[in-house]
Amino acid sequence: MDIVPLDFAAEPGRLAEYHTLMADVFAPGPRMPAPLFRLVAERGWRATPAETWLAVDDGRVIGGVTLHLPDDANAHVALVRFLSVDAAYRRRGVGSALLAHATGRARSEGRVMILIEIAEGGPGAAFARAKGMREVASQARRVLDLAAFAAPEREVPGYRLEFLRGRSPEALTGDMITLMEVMNDAPLDDLAINDESWTPASVRQMEEAWDLACQDVFTVVARAGDGSPAAFTRLFAGLGEAGGWARQTDTAVLRAHRGRGLGRWVKEANTAWLKRTRPDLTRVITWNAVSNRHMIAINEALGYRLLDVWHVWELRV
């Protein structure tokens, strides 16, 4: 067996084999469609330096690992995005070899730790424990059945909603930066990572990536009476993706505007908009820190139900 780098542009066949290998990792949640998988593996939403290494045996891809090596506020970390071994080749040391390779790469890039998300209770968790990793954060996935969802009539006095599909107009970039940086307030548990900041260039880069990953993106912004941004939320839906899944990602309310029902209002309004606009969709999946009780209370009120729990594991390198 060899461990070799994946050249995304020149090796579409190997990329497809790697994607197939990852098919079950997110079950019972949605499988990542090919364009989204490629985007995440090759560079992520923020064009993060990234590399993928494949375990190849007799010309076949039998395992793989992707590393993101941020060059910004989190240059001390290597993020393992995917690590998987073909079920027919497990318990033969392939996972160990891939992890050792990733650890070596992280170390030579000056990283002090690897972080990796793993489903609770599966082989990944046993593997992480065997490798001396430490659980540093817990996240739950919840699913909303869109057929059962109906948004109640709601207004929050003093605020209005703005609906944006796809990339935001350039005039709104400053507002988007203000809103997205509020995501730094989400609980981190024991995760030793730093706040993310945004610039007009990184916002543009991220929004361009939506097209690369064939994502139809729905954003709702709440504005205060003076026009300033107060809250936002975002839903992603693949174009041509099987399974009827959408993904709920960021939701944030600026500190000065919390406690007035804005978080729930923007989410309900966006979900209702998505349901009207994309009748092909049947369900929405979301991730939250288990400790994020306010966000989870809103999600439960909307009708989201628990699917499973994942932990972030840290390995000092």
End-to-end CA distance of the chain: 24
Site for ligand COA contains 57 (CB under 6 A): no
Site for ligand COA contains 244 (CB under 6 A): no
Helix axes 34-42, 200-212, angle to 10 degrees: 140
Q: Which of 25, 47, 183, 206 binds ligand COA (CB under 6 A)?
A: 25
Site for ligand COA contains 90 (CB under 6 A): yes
Q: Which two tokens stand for residue 63?
A: 């395992």
| Region of residue 47 (left: phi > 0; alpha: psi -120 to 50; beta: else) | left
Site for ligand COA contains 134 (CB under 6 A): no
At its nearest, how many Å lie between ligand COA and the CB of residue 92? Answer: 5
At its nearest, how many Å lie between ligand COA and the CB of residue 252? Answer: 29
At its nearest, how many Å lie between ligand COA and the CB of residue 117? Answer: 8
* Span near ligand COA by CB under 6 A; candidates 88-96, 151-159, 198-206, 297-305: 88-96
Site for ligand COA contains 27 (CB under 6 A): no
Closest C-alpha to 66, from 111, 108, 116: 116
Site for ligand COA contains 118 (CB under 6 A): yes
In this structure, which amino acid lies at residue 34? A
At its nearest, how many Å lie between ligand COA and the CB of residue 116? Answer: 6
Site for ligand COA contains 123 (CB under 6 A): yes
- Half-sphere exposure (Cβ direction) of 292: Cα atoms closer than 13 Å: 23
Site for ligand COA contains 197 (CB under 6 A): no
Chain residues 65-84 in contact with ligand COA, contact rule CB under 6 A: 83-84
Please say which residue, 93 or 110, places its beta carbon nearer to ligand COA: 93
Order across the sheet with 134-145: list the strands. Answer: 2-5, 50-57, 60-68, 77-85, 113-119, 305-316, 134-145, 283-289, 245-253, 229-238, 215-224, 159-165
CA torsion sign, 51 to 52 to 57 to 63?
positive
Q: Cis link prior to 28 (omega < 30° from 0)?
A: yes
Binding site for ligand COA (CB under 6 A): 25, 83-85, 90-96, 116, 118, 122-124, 126-128, 130
